[in-house]
């Protein structure tokens, strides 16, 4: 473990070692780039930068600020618009009218032109397009951070020209802003005064029309209402009085007529007459005298006759007075009746006139309302026109001058310190790139064999393992030739293998990566990403070093020398130690060597063979045990003709932990005809004979485990379950130099010492 950690740390110096090996190339390229930078610093023309500043979108003058202007303040889009306005060809064309600008630009052009005719510079005086093309690339307009300040800069080899052009564009922009603001307000003010004049004339015409309409329709007003309404009210009152008088006269006339039939003595209308009252009093007096005299005198007495004649005369006068009263009552009734009839006619006429007057009044009210609206609009427009006129007179523009450009005293380009720093940085970058490229190109040449050439010595002991690593790669046997190694004559077993708890470490399987890391920068950018088992199997078949390690593992297990069938059990202390991967790659390696191999899945809780091997759905040996079917019917063929798989499958009913009650020897009964049976299983059984009949138990342990106790516990449990031969395989080990067998044994021993 300590050796693996050291090798991983040393891999970060791979790029440094490559640069050191090609230090001559690095020095040459770096010196060349630095010399070019120094030459450019000396030969490039000096340029000066003059900068003027303006601030835009300040509060516009006036008592009331428009909502559109308030929204514009702080809007980034408005800042971009102002930047485009400053760079517009219209303003660049206007600065040609500034005194001295054209001559300064022409002089700058002639000084900067190293060859060619001078007509191109003289054409700047008459051709605005050429002038704009010349100065546009030298202007730099940008906002100052997040502020509302805009910097207007101009670059030139002459500081006087830089100052003149920057101030010319600044003054032109400010004047354009003031002129545009004043013109817009003048146009708006002129339009408002014209609208006010039209509204004034419309108001006068509307007032004349209303008065003329009133005179035409006779719509004169009385004390409280129009004349027609007051007249209708008066006629209504008179009609009511006339109808009341007529009714009263009709009642008196009817009473008098009915009393004339009965006698006029008790009629109320008669009693109300003073004459009737006097005649009745005289009649009473005469009747009393006649009655008094009749008792004394005889009927023929002259007094009696005189009183009788006087009584008859008074009665006749009463009758005549009654007729006079009746005639008077008839005349009163007739007069009231005629008055009522006349007032009704007047009422109808007044009603018609009042109705017509109401419609006319409604028309007049509508006209008056329209007039009032126009009068209010006139007042508002007059107020706005007055404000615009005031603003136009006091307007200074929404843009303010911050500062004009000063005469630059220091060159803007090139600056010595930044220029040399950039040159030094580029020199280092190009030197490193050239050194790495030269080293890579040198590796493409055929490498000498280890038997004929020794590794080139290096001065540093720290980077020697890194430099020696590539030399061992050409000696690795190709992948296609690895299976043939199984048929070679058996080699003598190694006698001094490192061990953990009296158990030999059989092999160290290297970590597989989708992209080999060749430098510390590559390790940082890529990182160790977890790979899926199908991807691991593909990478394992393509990795020559991994296949060599498998070849050594087969040799350590004695599979290349034993003629009889072998049973191999692959297990691990914890999940994620590479148990399933090791079982699969070992089975594929043996099958590629021409042996018939059966791969058995006994990890019921984490069954994955169906997905890893892309197998068809199968009930597996769990389904076979549940339904009493032979196990050989559940064996599935794979793409490799020498490799078969017996998956665990899924039982339809509760079967419990089947590995608790059976042993592997009894489970594999009837599965004959194979040269090797590789079983992937955890050690969850409690039977003493669970592993009996197995030739080897391989315990997979990850190389980055900091504790060895779980591996020791797994080895002891394997022996307690009946295993005879137990070995350890270190998985996911970091890549190490592998030049000789001694180097490989040393790395395994380093892992053994880590416990």
Is the peptide bond between 414 and the residue preceding it cis, with omega within 30 degrees of 0?
A: yes
Read off the pLDDT of residues 227-249 as tens digits, 9 standing for 90 and up: 667 777 888 888 888 888 888 88
And the tokens for 509? 């399987």
- The owner of tokens 């303040």 is 73
What string of DSSP letters covers 30-81?
HHHHHHHHHHHHHHSPPBEEEEEEEE--PPPSSSS--HHHHHHTT-HHHHHH
Residues 6 or more apart whose Cβ sits within 8 Å of residue 595: 486, 559, 642, 675, 676
For CA atoms 606, 607, 609, 611, the dihedral sign is: negative
**In this model, does residue 220 exceed pLDDT 80?**
no
To the nearest 10 degrees (0 to 180), the angle between helices 741-754 and 2-10 is: 120
Burial class (CB in 10 A: 0-12, 13-18, 19+), 529: exposed
Read off the pLDDT of residues 578-594 as tens digits, 9 standing for 90 and up: 889 899 999 998 988 88
**Residue 107: what pLDDT?**
87
The Cβ-side half-sphere exposure at 751, using a 13 Å CA radius, reads: 30
**Residue 478: what pLDDT?**
35
**In this model, does residue 1 exceed pLDDT 60?**
no
In angstroms, rounded to a whole number, what is the distance separating the alpha carbons of residues 276 and 314? 10
Read off the pLDDT of residues 78-108 as tens digits, 9 standing for 90 and up: 788 888 888 899 998 999 888 999 989 888 8
In angstroms, rounded to a whole number, what is the distance separating the alpha carbons of residues 234 and 238? 6
**In this model, does residue 117 exceed pLDDT 60?**
no
What mean pLDDT comes out for the span 479-491? Answer: 38
pLDDT bin (cut points 50, 70, 90) of residue 272 is: low
Centre a 10 Å sphere on the Cβ of residue 280 and count the other Cβ atoms it contains.
19
**In this model, does residue 60 exceed pLDDT 70?**
no
Q: What are phi and psi for residue 34, nearest 5 degrees?
A: -65, -40
In angstroms, rounded to a whole number, what is the distance separating the alpha carbons of residues 345 and 336? 14
Identify the three-state secondary structure at position 670: coil
Per-residue burial over 247-265, b = 16 or more CB atoms within 10 Å of its CB, e = otherwise: eebbebbebbeebbeeebe
Nearest CA to 109 among 128, 126, 99, 122? Answer: 122
Three-state secondary structure along 591-621? HHCCCCEEEEECCCCCCCHHHHCCCCCCCHH
Residues 6 or more apart whose Cβ sits within 8 Å of residue 724: 694, 695
**In this model, does residue 262 exceed pLDDT 70?**
no
In angstroms, rounded to a whole number, what is the distance separating the alpha carbons of residues 685 and 602? 11
What average pLDDT does the chain have? Answer: 75
State pTM to two decimals: 0.37
**In this model, does residue 323 exceed pLDDT 50?**
yes
What mean pLDDT comes out for the span 372-390? Answer: 85
Q: Pick the more confident residue, 439 or 585.
A: 585
And the tokens for 226? 């129009």
In angstroms, rounded to a whole number, what is the distance separating the alpha carbons of residues 312 and 318? 10
Read off the pLDDT of residues 141-200 as tens digits, 9 standing for 90 and up: 998 888 889 999 999 988 999 999 999 999 999 888 877 767 777 778 788 888 888 888
Q: What percent of the chain has pLDDT over 70?
A: 74
CA dihedral 6, 7, 8, 10 (to 10 degrees): 90
Least confident of 44-48, 161-165, 309-313, 387-391: 387-391
In angstroms, rounded to a whole number, what is the distance separating the alpha carbons of residues 582 and 293? 178
Identify the three-state secondary structure at position 638: coil
Going by their DSSP bridges, the two strands 48-55 and 149-156 should be labelled as: antiparallel
Q: What share of the chain is helix, strand, coil (3-state, %, to 5)?
A: 60, 10, 30
**In this model, does residue 673 exceed pLDDT 90?**
no
């Amino acid at each position: 473990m300590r050796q693996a950690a050291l090798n991983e740390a040393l891999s970060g110096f791979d790029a440094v070692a490559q640069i050191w090996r090609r230090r001559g190339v690095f020095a040459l390229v770096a010196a060349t780039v630095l010399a070019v930078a120094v030459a450019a610093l000396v030969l490039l023309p000096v340029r000066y930068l003059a900068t003027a500043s303006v601030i835009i979108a300040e509060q516009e003058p006036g008592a009331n600020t428009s909502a559109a202007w308030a929204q514009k303040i702080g809007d980034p889009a408005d800042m971009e618009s102002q930047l485009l306005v400053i760079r517009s060809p219209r303003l660049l064309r206007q600065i040609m009218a500034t005194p001295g600008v054209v001559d300064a630009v022409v002089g700058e052009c002639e000084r900067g032109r190293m060859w060619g005719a001078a007509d191109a510079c003289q054409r700047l005086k008459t051709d605005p397009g050429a002038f704009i093309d010349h100065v546009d690339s030298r202007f730099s307009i940008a906002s100052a951070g997040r502020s509302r300040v805009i910097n207007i800069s101009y670059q030139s080899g002459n500081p006087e020209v830089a100052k003149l052009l920057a101030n010319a564009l600044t003054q032109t922009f400010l004047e354009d802003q003031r002129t545009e603001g004043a013109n817009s307000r003048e146009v708006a003010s002129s339009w408002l005064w014209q609208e006010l004049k039209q509204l004034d004339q419309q108001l006068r015409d509307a007032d004349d029309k209303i008065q003329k309409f009133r005179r035409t329709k006779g719509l004169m007003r009385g004390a409280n209402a129009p004349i027609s309404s007051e007249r209708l009210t008066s006629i209504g009152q008179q009609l009511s009085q006339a109808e009341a008088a007529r009714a009263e006269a009709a009642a008196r006339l009817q009473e008098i007529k009915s009393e004339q039939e009965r006698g006029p003595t008790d009629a109320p209308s008669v009693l109300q007459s003073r004459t009737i009252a006097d005649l009745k009093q005289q009649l009473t007096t005469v009747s009393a005298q006649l009655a008094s005299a009749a008792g004394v005198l005889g009927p023929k007495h002259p007094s009696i006759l005189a009183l009788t004649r006087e009584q008859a005369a008074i009665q006749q006068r009463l009758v005549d007075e009654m007729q006079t009263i009746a005639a008077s009552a008839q005349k009163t009734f007739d007069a009231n009746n005629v008055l009522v009839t006349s007032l009704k006619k007047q009422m109808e006429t007044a009603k018609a006139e009042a109705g017509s007057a109401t419609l006319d009044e409604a028309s007049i009210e509508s006209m008056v309302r329209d007039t009032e609206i126009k009068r209010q609009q006139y007042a508002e427009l007059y107020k706005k026109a007055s404000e615009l006129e005031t603003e136009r007179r006091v307007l200074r523009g929404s843009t303010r001058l911050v500062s004009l450009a000063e005469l630059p005293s220091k060159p803007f380009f090139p600056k010595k310190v930044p220029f040399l720093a950039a040159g030094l940085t580029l020199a280092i970058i190009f030197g490193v790139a050239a050194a790495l490229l030269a080293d890579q190109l040198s590796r493409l040449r055929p490498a000498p064999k280890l038997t004929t050439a020794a590794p080139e010595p290096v001065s540093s002991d720290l980077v020697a393992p890194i430099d020696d690593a590539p030399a061992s790669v050409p000696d690795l046997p190709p992948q296609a030739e690895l299976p043939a190694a199984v048929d070679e004559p058996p080699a003598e077993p190694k006698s001094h293998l490192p061990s953990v708890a009296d158990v030999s470490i059989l092999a160290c399987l290297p970590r597989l990566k989708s992209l080999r890391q060749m430098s510390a920068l590559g390790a940082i950018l890529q990182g160790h990403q977890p790979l899926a088992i199908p991807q691991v199997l593909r990478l394992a078949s393509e990795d020559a070093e991994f296949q060599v390690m498998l070849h050594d593992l087969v040799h350590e297990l004695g599979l290349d020398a034993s003629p009889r069938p072998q049973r191999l059990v692959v297990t691990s202390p914890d999940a994620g130690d590479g148990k399933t991967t090791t079982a699969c790659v070992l089975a594929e390696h043996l099958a590629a060597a021409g042996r018939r191999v059966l791969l058995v899945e006994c990890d019921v809780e984490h069954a994955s063979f169906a997905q890893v091997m892309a197998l068809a759905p199968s009930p597996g040996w769990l389904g076979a045990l549940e339904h009493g079917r032979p196990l050989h019917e559940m064996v599935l063929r794979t793409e490799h003709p020498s490799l078969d798989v017996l998956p665990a499958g899924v039982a339809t009913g509760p079967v419990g932990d089947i590995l608790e009650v059976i042993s592997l020897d009894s489970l594999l009964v009837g599965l004959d005809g194979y040269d090797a049976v590789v079983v992937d299983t955890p050690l969850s059984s409690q039977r003493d004979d669970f592993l009996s009949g197995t030739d080897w138990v391989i315990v997979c342990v990850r190389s980055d485990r900091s504790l060895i106790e779980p591996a020791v516990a797994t080895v002891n449990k394997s022996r307690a379950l009946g295993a005879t031969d137990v070995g350890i395989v270190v998985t996911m080990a970091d890549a190490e130099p592998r030049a000789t067998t001694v180097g490989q044994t040393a790395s395994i021993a380093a892992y053994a010492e880590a416990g």
